[in-house]
Every structure is written in structure tokens, then in C-alpha cells.
Structure 1
Amino acid sequence: MFLESLIAALMTTSPSVQSGPQIAVAQGRIQGTAAAGVTAFQNLPYAAPPVGPLRWKPPTPPAAWTDVRDATRPGAICVQAPANGDPGVGPLPMSEDCLTLNVWAPENAAGPLPVMLWIHGGGYNNGSGTAGLYDGSNLARRGVVVVTVNYRLGRLGFFDHPALAAERLPDEPAGNYGVMDQIAALEWVRDNIGQFGGDPAKVTIFGESAGGVAVTQLMIAPGARGLFHRAVVQSGLGRQRSALLDQDRPGHPSAQSLGVAFARSVQLAGATADDLRALPAERTLSPMPAFYTDNLIVDGRVLTEDVVEAFAAGHQAPVPLILGTNSAEFWWIRPSDAGAYGRTDDLMTDAEYEALVAAYGGQGGYDTSVVSDLIFNEPARHLARLHAGAGHSTWLYRFDVVPESNPEPSGGATHASERPYVFDNLHTVGRPLQERDARAATDMANYWTDFAKTGDPNGPGRVDWPAMTGDLLLEFTNDGPIAKPVPQAERLDLIEQFYDRIRP
């Protein structure tokens, strides 16, 4: 880890930088690259490295520099376990010194442009803003400034322990360090994005999976209010229940209880805060934190309630919102599988279960699709209804584009498969695609960027995307976008009744 941190440090400032576009941000001058009408600046620190005494502390401002900072290469990814080939993970090195962001902007753009800040997924355990999949060039060519961010992951980003609590200042936020990082990145954008031609009063946050969850969390986070003005949630769950910071509740240990159990697993029973901070970063990776239990925390300050409760009470940011899911999200997970996702239906009554099996046309259909509907499809519809019902502009989508080269027997568009279409980066897929895929990518990137520009995804020459006023959505298909009623609504209605019973 020391060597990796040293490499990361050598990738920052350099007095020998000679060419390329230069601008000044609050911390000093930076130099990036320019190609095909787009300027790019990478590895820009938005917070101080969260190392040593700053591990498990809220982010603090980055230090200034005097030399021109080399912003031509990606920075280190945050500490994480291998992600089994996920293209949403950028290149090594890996380091705790990872709180950086990347900016793509049209070259010589006239006037302040809308900003799109991407929050990567990966279960809050993996991913980075440096992945080639998230290169913002093709979106920037549509007249927006694109920002991608790294934020602390796993136990370095979502963790608490009584020893850490004992040293905290009164009212110091805790637990949700990764979310605090996201807010710090938005503050950096507010203060600096004008230097890149961006408009700090027209910021769209968008993210997928855990990044979609992050978008909904930022919509209810008091510290993020006013830092963004539109939001896009791609496969961002919605019905999840978080751990409390220091209070256990039935079936859900607190973040501190989970922290004590982890410390015991690495022979640190009775640990002090110094003991925990001396733990090598790699030791925090095993056992792997679970997204549903370890990484979702209502701490009382950064996040004061769960997302669905906040939306139901009208506490979310009153901004235009796009939500959507893919047609075969978790097609490989069965309700009989171990783990939080497979157990989602465990609280169903016999009558609820039998009604749903019938609605799916039998046990086979239920086993194949109910987890995706429980985790993604019904929650997205529910949040969309709540947001629209509060009088806010809302659009719902379903992604069902499946390349002919798809190697999976998924029967639809699997989880995360929409990402290269949204970024119009089909070259990152790694297998042959067709003209219909290129058309779908063009459509999605245009809808997304027009939404960032105007707060409405619609634009000339495209199928009209109806607002969420009558359970209508836009389905992205192999044959193009289609406006239609929400598919399989009767199944979702039964799931909604189930959720209303267990979480009134």
C-alpha cells in the first residue's frame, strides 16, 4: 500500500509539464489534455487524503499547490476488493489517497454549460470515476460539462465503532463518509466548475446501482440541498432499510455493532481509535461488507431517515427526476438464494406468495423475476409516484436493449447494462454491437443531456417521453423507444401491497 500511495503521489504535481490546456482552480493551476473538441482534466483533489488521523473523519479541503498540477492521467482508485472484471472499475494503483474527480468539457464553449456529475455504482464496495466506461467525452460533445468522482468505499467509507464515537466532537457527522465525500465533491463543483465553462446553478447528479442509491440519498441529505438541480436514478433500489448509527433494531444491527463485530474478526476486540486507524487498509476488505447491512446507514446528521420514508413525507429535494430500471436486473438471483436479496420475500404470507406466483404465471416466472421486481422495479415506480405526487416533474423508464452478442441467458437487459448506452461509450462493451445499439446509445445520451440542459428529457426528433402522471414510462427497446404503461403492473401492485403491510 505504501508503494501504491507513492505512485499516486508521483502522478500529481510536476514542474516539467509543458503543454496542454491550463486553467486555475481554487487550489492552483492544472493542466489537462485536449482532443477532438473536448478538454479533459483528471485526478483533481476535492478533499484532503483521508489517511492517518483523517481516516473515518469527514472530508476536509484539499491543500493548495504551487507548481502546475499534471491532470492528464487518472488518479488512484479507492481501496477495494477485486470486482471480477466489472468495467466500472478504473486502473490501478489503489490507495486511500483517492478523493479526486475528473472533468470533461467542450473546448472553447460559449457561455456557462449544464454540469452532469456521475456517481459510480459497485455496492459501495467497488468502482471508480476513472473507468473508461465513464469517459465523459461523448456527453461533453453534446454541450455539457461532465464530472466523475471517486468516494470512499466499504468499511473505509461506511463504518462506525464505539472507539471512534468516543473521540468525536459534539455534532460531528459519522458513519456515512462516502456520502460526505459526494457532498464535498458537489461543493468543489459549486466553487470551481465555472473555470471549466460549467454552470454551478445547473448541476445534474446521476448514478447507477449504488450510485443511484447515492442520488436518492443526496436528494434527502440536508448537506446536499441546493448543490444540484436535477437528478437521474438508474437501478437505484428505493425500498431498502438502513442500519442506525448506534442503535440496534430487530433484525438490523447498528453500524457500531457491526463495527465491533468486524474489529473482533481482525483480532481488535477492545480496540482504540488509534488501533483501528493503524489497521492496514487491505484488512478492512475481509469479510466483504454487505451493501444492505454494512453500507447503508442512517446516522442522524448526514442522513436522517431512509429514502422511502423521506419521499413519502415530501422531504426530498424538489428537483426534476428521472428514475428507471432494466428489464432483467438480477435475473440470476432466485428467492431461495442466501443473502439479503434472496431473502426479500421471506416475510410474505402464504396468501401473498400464492397470489404473486399466480401473477407470474407459475413458480418458474416467480423465481426468475420476483427479486428484480422487489428490489428494483416496484421501488422505482413507488418513488416516481411519490415524487410526482408531491408536484415535482418526474419521468420513469425501462431499459430493454439486448445486443445480439449478449452471452447471458438473461431474457432481457441485465443489471448495469445500460451504462455504456448512457455514456455513448459502446466501444467499452468488448463485443460486437449493431446499428440498433448505436441508435439506442444516441437516444439515451440525448435524453440524458437534454434533461441536464432544460430539466426535461424531451427534445426534437425523438419519441416523446411522457411525464409520470398516469403510470406511463419510456421503454428503450431494440426497435427504439416506446411510450407505454408500466409493464406487468399487476405484479407490482401486489408487491406494493406486501411492502405496505410490512413497512406501514
Structure 2
Amino acid sequence: MILESLMAALMTTGPANIPDPEIALAQGRAQGREESGVISFQNLPFAAPPVGPLRWRPPVKPAPWSDIRDATRPGAICIQSPANGDPGVGPLPMSEDCLTLNVWTPQGMTALLPVMVWIHGGGYNNGSGTAALYSGTNLARRGVVVVTINYRLGRLGFFDHPALAAERQPDEPAGNYGVMDQIAALEWVRDNIARFGGDPGNVTIFGESAGGVAVTQLMVAPAARGLFHKAIVQSGLGRQRSALLDEDRPGHPSAQSLGVAFARSVQLAGATADDLRALPAERLLSPTPAFYTDNLIVDGRVVPEDVVEAFAGGRQAPVPMILGTNSAEFWWIRPSDAGAYGRADDLMTDEEYSALVAAYGGQGGYDTSVVSDLIFNEPARHLARLHADAGHPAWLYRFDVVPESNPEPSGGATHASERPYVFDNLDTVGRPLGERDARAATAMADYWTGFATRSDPNGPDRVDWPGVAGDRLLEFTNDGPVARAVPHGERLDLIQQFYARIRP
């Protein structure tokens, strides 16, 4: 009976390979498309357009529609600045009316399948779920249902101002509108994904960079509890100290103070909430808010505390988790550079600095690698250890696959370079990739979907991926996956001691 209802929801009458299947949702019917055994539905709204009086408000349910909705093409990406050719952005147009998601499901399923919900990166300023890079077709062929989402970005998604605070109810969440959108999308998945053949009781969230940060924020968000059952964090920071909603800290202004400074920059000192909502969306793009200092907010409700503090107290979601980083994340950023990443080592004592320079084999090694270790590698190891210490399954990885066609002198795998391998979409990156890249993509996609299916990335005919206990990880290399000790542990130990001193 369950299977019959499922197939009826997935398709109208006719054979299983009809070209344009229809599906009935609570808001109305939608028409998708079938290609190579995978059915896709794009541009499905999970919340009402956050425009007019809904700008800087929590997401609300989408309105119903009467006609059959065309779900064969991507919707608009959220308002954002140009992103210098990042393949994770997706095609124009862009609009504030962007709170949509996309679903890929394999044809011919005989039972409800695991669900994987992708949260894109882009510094909470760029990106979308519509990019070809994130097509779920090749993951769906492995027996999962894939969902990719959009969420509000930049000042439309991560912003506050005293004028907005003055008009909202005391219990209304604020500031983290992009995270609220992510939670609304997960609620939509809970309520609707069985119609697509997905199991709402077996949902894995995964994301990269800002999307990885989003996964960790959802791990500590009370409203997200129970909406997912596994988590994968790709290059998702971990030690960041977020801006508070309305309280300044030394060297770290609050979200409201940042909002006041922005309003002054556009000649809106003393602005009302109506003044702010009347601003054209494009006026909110410049100057671009800094991800590490402006877009990460602890609002006390949606994100109640910094991620590392929640993990240290065992207050994160008790779900299996994979965390990892790339071998040359921010290889181009030096500790002397301007900006928050360059300042990451500013609080080191002379003794700490000298010990680290020695551990890196000299100033050159320090300058090339310390920012990546401070921002990505040690925080990932730390969160993985904390999660395992709390009694939850945790696996750590390092991605070190470098195509022969890679033009960058990075000495390893740079930030975000694992994405086409995770999705097994090597044809979307604009440069030729070879057979060894295809093998790496097969391995990575198999581990990811295996984890979504069984709560454990291991499976037959795979290199065994050890748990984080014992400081071991799985390294994805040009020659295949290798289980090994966490690389450069002595450097990471010194960084851990540094963090323990400045934030005990």
C-alpha cells in the first residue's frame, strides 16, 4: 500500500518512464522531467517570497497555486554580487523571490530512500542550489533522493538594525534569516519528501565552506533538531567567534552595530524599518559583508551560541557526522594579509609564534599553511574529537586530489575543489579531468551516499575509513583513498594550545 501510494504520488498514469512526471504537493501539482532514469523537480517553493513586509522576517509557508507548476527549469538565484566565475553560483536571473529547492529521485524505487540535502557555500554572500555543479543526478543514481536549496544571502539573509528590532515581537527570531530559510527547507523535506520517494526519517545534511558552517549551525540550532539524522561538514570552519545580535564585544561589533554602520554608508542614518525595506536589493550588496565577521551571528534563539562552545558542552545534535578539509585550503592567504583570516594569528605570544614557525620548518612553511590550519584543519579535528568524546560516531577526512590540469601552484587541493568529486559532476568545472579524477569522484560519492544510507561511510570493496578515535582519518589522494594518521599533528597540537589559551 505504501509503495502504491508512493508511485501514485511520483507519477501520473502511464509507464514508469513517462517523460514529464507530475507530483501532487500540498500547495498544488508540479510537473518535472525524467532523464536517464532520474526524475528531477526544480524551482519548488518552500517558503513565500521574502519581499516587501516579509524582508527581514522569518520565512512563512508558500501560497498554493492552481495551475500545474512548471518544475522543469531552475528558479532564480538569491540576490548576490558577481562571484568571479565560481561554478557553484548557478545561472541568472536573480531575485529576492528565490526560496526554492530542487529534488532528484531515481526511477523505479521499491522503498523509501535516504535523503541528502545540500547546503551550498559562498561565504553566505554567493551561490545557489541551481548550479550544474550541484546537480543531484549522479548521486541519485546511487539510490538516494537529493535536495538542493536556496537561502537568503548577504544583508538580506544575515542582518539586523535597531529599527527592525523596535518593530518585532519579543519572541520573534532575528538576524539569521538565511539559517531560518535552511530550517524551513528541512521542514518542507520532512513534510513532502515521501512523495518523491525519500524517507523523512533518514535525512543527511551536507555542505561546503559556508554550507559546512551552516551544517554545524544546524547541529546546534534547537529548531533544526530532529529534522536531520546525519551530517557532513566540508571545510566548515569550527573555531569562529560570531557577532552577537545586539551586544558589542571588544573588536567584534554586534549585528545591529554593523547594520547601523551600513545604513549610514547609504545615507540612511536614523532609518526606519520602512526605509530599510524600501531599499533596492542591489543597494544592500556593497560593501560586501565579510563572512567571518559580519555574516556569522549568534542571535540567542536560532543559533543560540557559537558552534565550538555548543560542541564542547555536548549540546550538538547527537547524530553521526563526517568532517573534513582540503590539503591546501587557503594557500594564497598569508598571515600578514588584511582581513579576519590574516589576523587569525595576531594574538599569539612570541613563544607560540616561534614554536609554530619551527613546526612548519621555517617562515616560508608557516606563511603558506598556518591560515589553513588555524581556520580549517585544527578546528575540524577539534569538533570531530568533541563529537566522538560525546559518544557520537565521527569520521574525519582530508581531500588531496589534484588534477593534472590544475593551473594553481597550490601544492595541494585548494578550497572548494572537492565539490565536483562529491557530486560526481566532473564535467561542470570547465577544465579537462582524467581517469584518476573519475576514480576519485566515484570513491568520494560512494562514501558520501553510503554514509547517508547506513550511517557509516564504510562498505564492501572500500578502504576502511577509521573513526576519529586515535587521530586517524581517510585521505583522498591521486592514488585512491588511504587511511592514515592525521597529518601534521604536531602543528595542530600547538594551534589547539593557542586556542585553549585565548578562549579557554
TM-score normalised by the shorter chain: which range applies?
A: over 0.9
Deviation at 1:110, TM superposition (A): 1.1
Contact 2:174 / 2:299 at 8 angstroms: preserved in 1? yes
Contact 2:19 / 2:34 at 8 angstroms: preserved in 1? no
Alignment of 1:362-373 (within 5 A): 362-373=362-373
Distance in 1 between residues matched to 2:253 and 2:292, nearest whole Å: 11
Tell me whether 1:262 sits opposite 2:239 in the alignment. Answer: no
Task: Give the structure 1 partner of residue 184 of structure 2.
Answer: 184
Q: Which runs of 5+ in 2 are unaligned?
A: 1-17
Q: Secondary structure at the residue paired with 2:444?
A: helix
Deviation at 1:102, TM superposition (A): 0.1
Distance in 2 between residues matched to 1:467 and 1:78, nearest whole Å: 38
Contact 2:244 / 2:299 at 8 angstroms: preserved in 1? yes
Tell me whether 1:111 sits opposite 2:98 in the alignment. Answer: no
Of 106-115 and 185-194, more deviation after overlay is shown by 106-115
Deviation at 1:334, TM superposition (A): 0.3
Task: Give the structure 1 partner of residue 252 of structure 2.
Answer: 252
Write the letter of the residue equivalent to 2:454. Answer: T
Task: Give the structure 2 partner of residue 12 of structure 1.
Answer: none
Distance in 2 between residues matched to 1:130 and 1:245, nearest whole Å: 31
Contact 2:157 / 2:176 at 8 angstroms: preserved in 1? yes
Write the letter of the residue equivalent to 2:302. Answer: V
Contact 2:401 / 2:412 at 8 angstroms: preserved in 1? yes
Distance in 2 between residues matched to 1:460 and 1:352, nearest whole Å: 45
Write the letter of the residue equivalent to 2:401. Answer: V
Distance in 2 between residues matched to 1:431 and 1:264, nearest whole Å: 44
Distance in 1 between residues matched to 2:20 and 2:67, nearest whole Å: 15
Deviation at 1:430, TM superposition (A): 1.3
Cα deviations by residue, 1:236-262 (Å, 9 ceiling, x for unpaired): 000000010001011110000000000
Task: Give the structure 2 partner of residue 169 of structure 1.
Answer: 169
Tell me whether 1:334 sits opposite 2:334 in the alignment. Answer: yes
Task: Give the structure 2 partner of residue 43 of structure 1.
Answer: 43
Q: Secondary structure at the residue paired with 1:343?
A: helix
Distance in 2 between residues matched to 1:114 and 1:124, nearest whole Å: 27
Tell me whether 1:89 sits opposite 2:89 in the alignment. Answer: yes
Task: Give the structure 2 partner of residue 487 of structure 1.
Answer: 487
Task: Give the structure 2 partner of residue 4 of structure 1.
Answer: none
How well do the aligned residues superpose, as a CA RMSD in angstroms?
Answer: 0.7
Distance in 2 between residues matched to 1:68 and 1:105, nearest whole Å: 20
Deviation at 1:154, TM superposition (A): 0.1
Task: Give the structure 2 partner of residue 216 of structure 1.
Answer: 216
Could you tell me the TM-score, scaled by structure 2's length?
0.96
Cα deviations by residue, 1:350-395 (Å, 9 ceiling, x for unpaired): 0000000000000000000000000000000000000000000000
Distance in 2 between residues matched to 1:26 and 1:486, nearest whole Å: 48
Alignment of 1:105-504 (within 5 A): 105-504=105-504
Count of residues in correspondence between the two structures: 487
Write the letter of the residue equivalent to 2:27. Answer: Q
Write the letter of the residue equivalent to 1:256. Answer: Q
Q: Secondary structure at the residue paired with 1:205?
A: strand
Of 369-378 and 424-433, more deviation after overlay is shown by 424-433
Q: Secondary structure at the residue paired with 2:345?
A: coil
Could you tell me the TM-score, scaled by structure 1's length?
0.96
Write the letter of the residue equivalent to 1:321. Answer: M
Distance in 1 between residues matched to 2:293 and 2:166, nearest whole Å: 23
Distance in 2 between residues matched to 1:23 and 1:127, nearest whole Å: 27
Write the letter of the residue equivalent to 2:352. Answer: E
Runs ≥4 residues deviating over 2 A: none
Distance in 2 between residues matched to 1:93 and 1:432, nearest whole Å: 28
Cα deviations by residue, 1:147-182 (Å, 9 ceiling, x for unpaired): 000000000000000000000012100000000000
Q: Which runs of 5+ in 1 are unaligned?
A: 1-17
Write the letter of the residue equivalent to 2:483. Answer: A
Distance in 2 between residues matched to 1:258 and 1:432, nearest whole Å: 43
Deviation at 1:19, TM superposition (A): 6.3
